[in-house]
Every structure is written in C-alpha cells, then in structure tokens.
C-alpha cells in the first residue's frame, strides 16, 4: 500500500532546506547580531562568505521566513536591516550558487527586545569641553576646546540644537572635543546605536580636516571604544582624503589609531541636515564590532558596510577590535563629538540635533 504521508515528508524536507543542496564547502559567517545576545527589534544583519564556489545569492531567513536577499552580493557580503517582534529568534544566512543550490549556511539563535535603553536629546545635555590643562589632548597648539553652545535659533529641528565650534583663531590640526558622561555600569552593554543630525553651515562644507563621533564604555579596566571619523583631508601622518575610518583604542603602552575600512566619504552637503547612524556591538567574547554606518541627506540614503580583506582566506571580513585592558581604570560610560581643524588652521563650526544613544545591556 502506498505511504500517503511520503509526499508531505518530502515537502517538509524541501522547505527546511529552502532550496536544492550542493556539497556545502562555502563558509558563511554571521557577525551581527551576536549569537545568544539581545538586540532591539529593529536590527542589522551582517554576514559574509568565502570558499571555492561562486555565490550568486546571499539570503537572510528569520524564524524560517526569508526577510531579504542580495543577488551577486558585492564582496560576498550582506548588510541589511530587518525587523521582528520581541522574543527568541533563529537567524539563518545561506549562500546559493548559480544553480540555486545551497553551498553554505549558518544558523544562530539570539533575542530581541521592544524596550532598549536610550539617552535621547543628547544635544541638550551638559557637554564637557576638552582642556589640556586637565590632561585632555586638544591637538595642534593645545588650545582649550571652546564650550558647546546650546542653540534655539535656526538651524534646529525640535526647538533645540547645539553648536560645536573649533578654536577661533585656530592652529593647524587643532581639535575640539566634547563629551557627555553617563552613569557607569558594572557590565558591558552588547548593542549600541549612536545617531544624530548634523548641519554644515554654508561656506564651510570643505573646512574640516575631519569630524568624529564615539561612544565608550570602560568595564573592569577593559575599554570598549566605538569611534568613527569622516576624514575630509588626510592628516599630517598621511592616509587618504575623503574616507571614513574607525578607531582602534591603543593598548596600554602600545599603538592604536584610526583605521581605514574601505568606505569613501561623500562630504556632507551645506545648509541641510544629514542624518548619521552608527551601529556597533560586543559579542560574548568581548570583541568590539563595527557593524554599519548609515548616512541620509539630499544625496540619498546609504547603509555603508565596513570591511577588510583577509588575503589568507580571500574573505572580505567585518571590522572588529579586541578591547585593551587598562588595569586600575574605573568603570566609565560616555558619548563624544569632535571637530578636527585642517592643516591651514581654518576655524569652523557645525550644529547637531536629535542626538540619541540606544543600547542593550
């Protein structure tokens, strides 16, 4: 007698695999979200593949439902926003070859929350200016950073913005650095999103050497730094013009600094708001990951995918740093903003509004 359940068993197996299966020798690596940790309901998925097969499609499945895909993915990477509801989830990223056979697949479990913690309206917070007299490096001729100026005139979006001015007159490669201190925590947070709107005044669109933003936690002596720079002009130490960089916090007594992440910079337009969103996370091993940078203005909205090329594997890998240990340093939590003066000593200022830091412990 014919087994009437057999067609259903075959169908279930096909759905589980999503498509035909080849010998899976391509490696799929999911770098965001981190396995077994928690993100907000709106999250970024970042993954890459490497191996001998040609990858025609990279697909993202959440709880068995395809959320998005990339056809002929650039550098065999995918970096996309997806949304879900609060709870525990299963995430699969799989690679298909030109015949639509699965040649690589990785699955992780993680959780999401509808209630991440946040510091809204940071542009209205109390900002500390850098003063070299108190041990803060202000670059150039080490002139103190001017105070940030609360702003209620135009430009603003919600009645309040803040003006960040460089020294004026400024010396070559001066820096203006401001930070906000938050209550320190005893455990590192595992998800961060730092966002704000930036206004570049008319006539100043080419004035900066660079514009920087960061958030930072120090927990049990380990420094978790999440810093970005929009580098308009190469610094005195060299590099390229018009690139984005991330910061590698130096180990105690060692070397660190800004690293290029293969992302070209389109300078922020004058006389309008540019919305900037930086996403980061810390995995269970304590490694810091720079997940994505999204820039939106009249030129468009672009989700930028930082990466580096590993010649040993042929993989275009995600950007990660191991937090350095500073023994004896107390727990800290802060966000910051910085303006870098160019080699000609050109003074300038910008306005910032709707600044917000979102995080999940």
Summarize pLDDT for 42-83 with one digit per residue, the tens: 999 999 999 999 999 999 999 999 999 999 999 999 999 999
Residue stretches of the chain with pLDDT short of 50: 1-19, 21
Dihedral-angle region of residue 133 (phi above 0 means left; psi in -120 to 50 means alpha; beta otherwise): alpha
Phi and psi at residue 14, to the nearest 5°:
-65, -40
Chain centroid to CA 209? 21
Q: Quick one: pLDDT at residue 23?
A: 57
Long-range contacts: 213-216, Cβ < 8 Å, 24+? 213/276, 213/278, 213/335, 213/336, 213/337, 213/338, 214/247, 214/335, 214/336, 214/338, 215/280, 215/334, 215/335, 215/336, 215/357, 216/332, 216/333, 216/334, 216/335, 216/336
Q: Taking a C-beta distance cutoff of 8 angstroms, is the pair 330, 83 a contact?
A: no
CA atoms within 13 A on the CB side of 78: 28
Q: Taking a C-beta distance cutoff of 8 angstroms, is the pair 68, 93 a contact?
A: no
Q: Quick one: pLDDT at residue 202?
A: 98
Cα angle value 315/81/110 (rounded, 5°): 80
Q: Is 182 exposed, middle or buried (0-12, 13-18, 19+ CB in 10 A)?
A: middle
Q: Quick one: pLDDT at residue 137?
A: 87
- CB neighbours (10 Å) of residue 31? 22
Q: Quick one: pLDDT at residue 264?
A: 98
Nearby residues of 251 by Cβ (< 8 Å), 6 or more positions away: 324, 325
Task: Characterize the bridge pairing of strands 102-113 and 38-40.
Answer: parallel
Q: What is the DSSP letter of 234?
A: -
Summarize pLDDT for 131-180 with one digit per residue, the tens: 998 888 888 999 999 999 999 999 999 999 999 999 999 999 999 999 99
CA distance 359 to 361: 7
Q: Is 328 exposed, middle or buried (0-12, 13-18, 19+ CB in 10 A)?
A: exposed
Closest to 81 (Cα-Cα) out of 296, 276, 293:
293
Q: Quick one: pLDDT at residue 134?
A: 86
Cα angle value 286/289/290 (rounded, 5°): 155
Closest to 128 (Cα-Cα) out of 358, 287, 338, 277:
338
Nearby residues of 282 by Cβ (< 8 Å), 6 or more positions away: 34, 188, 189, 190, 191, 224, 288, 289
**pTM of the predicted model over 0.85:** yes
3-state secondary structure of 34: coil
Q: Quick one: pLDDT at residue 24?
A: 64
CA distance 294 to 214: 15
Q: Quick one: pLDDT at residue 18?
A: 44
Q: Quick one: pLDDT at residue 15?
A: 38
């Amino acid at each position: 007698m014919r087994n009437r359940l057999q067609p259903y068993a075959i169908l279930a197996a096909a759905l589980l695999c999503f498509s035909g299966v080849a010998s899976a020798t391509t490696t799929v690596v999911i770098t965001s979200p981190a396995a077994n940790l928690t993100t907000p309901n709106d999250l970024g998925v970042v993954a890459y593949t490497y191996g001998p097969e040609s990858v025609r499609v990279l697909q993202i499945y959440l709880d068995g439902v395809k959320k998005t895909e990339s056809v002929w993915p650039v550098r065999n990477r995918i970096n996309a926003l997806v949304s879900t509801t609060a709870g525990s989830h299963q995430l699969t990223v799989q690679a298909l070859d030109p015949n639509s056979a699965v040649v690589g697949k990785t699955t992780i479990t993680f959780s999401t929350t509808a209630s991440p913690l946040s510091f809204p309206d940071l542009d209205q917070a109390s900002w500390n200016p850098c003063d070299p007299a108190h041990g803060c490096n202000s670059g150039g001729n080490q002139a103190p950073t001017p105070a940030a100026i609360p702003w209620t005139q135009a430009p603003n979006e919600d009645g309040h913005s803040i003006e960040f001015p460089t020294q004026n007159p400024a010396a070559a490669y001066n820096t203006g650095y401001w930070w906000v201190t938050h209550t320190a925590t005893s455990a590192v947070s595992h998800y961060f999103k730092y966002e704000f709107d930036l206004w570049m005044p008319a006539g100043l669109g080419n004035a900066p050497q660079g514009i920087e933003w960061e958030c930072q936690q120090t927990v049990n002596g380990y420094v978790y730094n999440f810093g970005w720079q929009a580098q308009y002009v190469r610094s005195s130490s060299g590099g390229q013009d018009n690139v984005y960089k991330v910061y590698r916090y130096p180990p105690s007594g060692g070397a660190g600094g800004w690293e290029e992440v293969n992302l070209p910079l389109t300078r922020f337009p004058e006389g309008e708001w540019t919305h900037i969103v930086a996403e980061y996370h810390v995995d269970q091993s304590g490694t810091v990951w720079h997940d994505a940078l999204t820039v939106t203005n009249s030129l468009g909205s672009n989700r930028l995918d930082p990466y580096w090329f590993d010649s040993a594997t042929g993989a275009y890998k995600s950007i990660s740093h191991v937090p350095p240990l500073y023994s004896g340093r107390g727990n800290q939590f802060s966000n910051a903003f910085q303006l870098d003066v160019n080699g000609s000593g050109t003074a300038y200022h910008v306005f910032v509004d709707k600044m917000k830091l979102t995080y999940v412990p």
